[in-house]
Amino acid sequence: MARGKAVYDERAIQTLDALEHIRLRSGMYIGRLGDGSHPLDGIYVMLKEVIDNGVDEFIMGEGRRIEISRENASITVRDYGRGIPLGKLVECVSQINTGGKYNDDVFQFSVGLNGVGTKAVNALSCDFEVTSWRDGRFRTARFQRGVLDGEKKGRDAAAPSGTLVRFTPDSEIFPAYAWNEEFVEERLRYYAFLNAGLTLNYNGKRFQSRGGLADLLAHEMGDEAPLYEGVHCSQDRLEFAFSHTSNYGESYFSFVNGQYTNDGGTHQSAFREGVLKGVNEFAKESFSGEDVRDGIVGAVAIKLQDPVFDSQTKSKLGSTDVRSWVVPAVREQVALWLHQHPEQARLLVEKVKSNERVRKELSAIKKEAKERARKVAIRIPKLTDCKLHYDTPRGKRREETTVFITEGDSAGGVMVQCRDVYTQAIFALKGKPLNCHGMKRDAIYKNEELYNLMRALGIEDGIDGLRYNQVVIATDADVDGMHIRNLLLTYFLRYFEEIVLKGHLYILETPLFRVRNKRDTRYCYSDAERESAEAEVRGAEVTRFKGLGEISPGEFGRFIGEGARLLPVSVHNLGEVGRCLDFFMGKNTPDRRAFIIENLSTEVV
């Protein structure tokens, strides 16, 4: 037997109880762990799972208010629904596949149909407490890391019915985390948009909505004025709203039973199809889908018994039966709304016809760009692809792939040597890309570098062809690198906004300094980290990495491997995108220079 080789026999087989499995494989239940710096990090999923229970009560007509508070790391959520049945309180928060949401009469439309949500919160919390009030009585159960630590029950005639959950995420699972108030408030704001009539109070702030998804679109568009008053329809199982802007592409916010389906799914596809059919029915035309939908900002929410999601994190709906009723319902309501609002309908049809003209003009430019690229090279210049794209059918395992967009052959060469050849691709830019702010869409087809980037990503005919799950901008930590980063961000935000909205775009953070002596090596991402490392690593040599190409392949591998620092690119709302691009990439040079000088805290080395 080879030295150190693990023995695989009966002793290697382990059986874990449910909560142990949640702690050991937490990503299966809450997705990414994270540190609280991203709105999809695990602590926010835990908060969502608890609030969902109160929202489910509201949907069933029980309780119109949810109280949420945070004290340091601990969150408390109190709803005023029916309360968990006292005799099953412990089982409902600690035993997998136990709960009332399997009963369609008790919970008709619920996200948490798998009986896992609150159990996962319990298992991943160092302290967890639940109290239920029903019919003048209460019961409390306390847990530590999923293990029951005490119970109490009795009478409390003055307390309204409902459930209270208090939890503190476990630092053993989340080694370093912090709650971001902005993320919490945005999540609560969405709950209000999706549940008109529900009030959520959080640390003195109130979140309510009367207009539902119409309010959501107004919030998301901000100062970005729609081209016409938005279409809005609200029914028992279906609500949708949409309008058009002067931006490119399509942007959607889709939900199932209140769950934000970040990656869309069958309900979003059915909504898009219904909008197309409704517009064509009203206009008595045969407009193409891309002409009707270019520039659209839409939201759709459905209520569904037994929804089928692609994963535990429920980011994409897979239920195939929704099309049969969503498409005709959207078609009918869109056509009806357009007939009832003739002036708004005129503006919408004008927008669609304008899209059609632009598309026909652009098709010749696209054809010319494809022919030019075909003459230059069979393969896409500067792209070193990953093997996964050669070994599997298109799109089948896209979620495993990453492409790094880097500057120049030097950095690209280093990354090619140390990447995971199976899942990681490298696209090396020739130099600074075109500043395409304020330009029409034809500019990126006429520009060779930006067109090649489109080809590399598979988005030359739209983002449905995106070949990689993660698109990572990897530029040098200097002024030129920052400029290139901003130019690329402008490119994506102006023409391919949905790539950002769906969470595919990232910034690679690489170390600025290496502090080392013969015994120890530290990589530092800020001046503060460098100063701390210099104090701890005696007699250290300090190296400042000005360019990615200066880092050896042996070192660079750790920065793009499992522990890579990938900062997600996100926007608070669509309206701020235009303002930011105008300010940072427009012609207001004096204002921008004044802002940079005023906010410059450290000298760029």
- How far CA 291 is from CA of 207, 224, 365, 425, 576, in Å, comes to 36, 21, 17, 33, 25
Distance of CA 260 to the CA centre of its chain: 9
Q: How far apart are the first and last CA of the chain?
A: 54
The order of strands in the sheet holding 565-568 is 383-384, 424-429, 402-407, 470-474, 505-509, 565-568
* Confidence class for position 347, pLDDT limits 50, 70, 90: very high
Rg of the chain, C-alpha, whole Å? 27
Place of tokens 């998301």: 220
Quick one: pLDDT at residue 24?
77
Return the amino acid letter for 586.
Answer: G
Q: Could you give the C-alpha distances from 260 to 33, 39, 79, 573, in angstroms and in order? A: 18, 12, 21, 15
Mean pLDDT to the nearest integer, 499-507: 90
At 229, list the tokens. Answer: 């008053």
396, pLDDT greater than 80: no
Which of 42-51, 99-108, 474-483 is the least confident region? 99-108
Cβ neighbors of 321 (< 8 A, separation 6 or more) are none
Give the contacts of 591 (CB within 8 A, at least 6 positions apart).
583
Q: If we measure between CA atoms, which residue out of 3, 333, 30, 334 comes closest to residue 177?
A: 30
Core vs surface per residue 377-416: b (16+ CB within 10 A) or e: eeebebbbbbebbeeeeeeeebebbbbbbbbbeebbebbb
User: Would the pLDDT of 104 be above 70?
Assistant: no
pTM above 0.85, yes or no: no
Mean pLDDT of 386-412: 77
- Cα dihedral sign, 207-581-565-459: positive
Q: Kindly list the structural domains of the chain, giving each domain's residue range(s) and its CATH number in brackets, ordered by start.
A: 18-207 (3.30.565.10), 213-357 (3.30.230.10), 378-510+545-599 (3.40.50.670)
d(CA 334, CA 487): 38
Q: Is the pLDDT of residue 108 over 60?
A: no
Around Cβ 235, how many Cβ atoms within 10 Å? 11
Helices (H) and strands (E) in the chain, counts: 21, 22
Residue 299 burial (10 A CB sphere; 0-12, 13-18, 19+): buried
Q: How confident is the model at residue 16 (pLDDT cuts 50, 70, 90)?
A: low
What is the model's pLDDT at position 548? 86
DSSP letter for each residue of 69-112: EEETTEEEEEE-SS---GGGHHHHHHSTT-SGGG-TTT-SS-S-
Residue 29 clears pLDDT 60, i.e. is over it: yes
What pLDDT shows up at residue 14?
Answer: 58
pLDDT at residue 247 is higher than 90? no
Q: What is the pLDDT of residue 599?
A: 59
**For residue range 159-212, what is the model confidence (pLDDT) as tens digits?**
999 999 999 999 999 988 999 999 999 999 999 999 999 999 999 899 999 999
How far is CA 41 from its chain centroid? 10
Would you place residue 311 in the very low, low, confident or very high pLDDT band (cuts 50, 70, 90)?
low
Helix (H) or strand (E) holding 553: helix 553-556
Average pLDDT over the chain reads 86
Element (H or E) spanning 151, and its range? strand 147-155
